Amino acid sequence: MSFYKNFEEYNLKATDDVKEKYSKIIEGVGEDVQREGLVKTPERAAKAMMFLTQGYKQDPVEILKGAMFKEDYDDMVIIKDIELYSLCEHHMLPFFGKAHVAYIPNGHIVGLSKIPRVVDVFARRLQVQERLTHDILECLNNTLKPKGVAVVIEASHMCMMMRGVQKQNSVTTTSGFRGQFEKQETRNEFLKLISSNLS
């Protein structure tokens, strides 16, 4: 059974276990968990955590395979500015930004909505941005078997903004390329397209 099913239905046992742990955390920082504003906080926080980590119970390969179609198209397909929200595994603080994903089909295309869904599956786990980029790249490459795949992620990390070095304007960019995108000409075309405003 999935930990998180939809916005209102949760695995009650798992949620209760996490709720109890949040109660102890609140007490541990010196707060009164029975104070009016905090009485329901452990439950809310538990449900939020189940939502933010639901990617562990989802299969990105099945998402892609469920919407693959034979098509004689072999030019670049780009989905850019895909919003992403994840949790840094080092401090469990959010990082957020956007992903740009491209692939060059090799006999099959995939439903366009499936690529953002794959991004969400991997983002909704405890992550580091480098592995998130690699996970998305390898999933698309191994499942679609395209002529090439490219992934670029730009994100801001609350673990750098709220604590530690406290650099509010820093943005981290990671990238990965496979197949034809390893050629400089194809890679440059992709980077130019994701940087431009075509509208």
Catalytic residue status for 89: yes
Which residue do the tokens 């639901």 mark? 54
List the catalytic residue out of 31, 62, 90, 182.
90
To the query of whether residue 184 is one of the catalytic residues in this protein, the response is no
Q: What is the 3-state secondary structure (H, E, C) of 113-156?
A: CHHHHHHHHHHCCEECHHHHHHHHHHHHHHHHCCCEEEEEEEEE
Annotated active-site residue in 54, 127, 129, 180: 129
Select which of 27, 154, 159, 189 is catalytic.
Answer: 159
**Catalytic residue chosen out of the listed positions 54, 100, 127, 157:** 157
CA nearest neighbour of 79 among 48, 119, 52: 119
Beta bridge partners of 154: 98, 173
Catalytic residue among 31, 71, 83, 89: 89
Catalytic option among 27, 91, 108, 138: 91
Task: Work out whether strand 148-157 and strand 94-104 pair parallel, antiparallel, or are unpaired.
Answer: antiparallel
Cα–Cα distance between 120 and 123 in angstroms, integer?
5
Is 91 assigned a catalytic role? Answer: yes
Tell me the C-alpha distance between 98 and 149, whole Å: 17
57 contact partners, CB below 8 Å, separation of at least 6? 2, 3, 4
Is residue 139 part of the annotated active site? The answer reads no
Given 88, 127, 139, 180, which residue is catalytic? 88
User: Which positions are catalytic?
Assistant: 88-91, 129, 157, 159
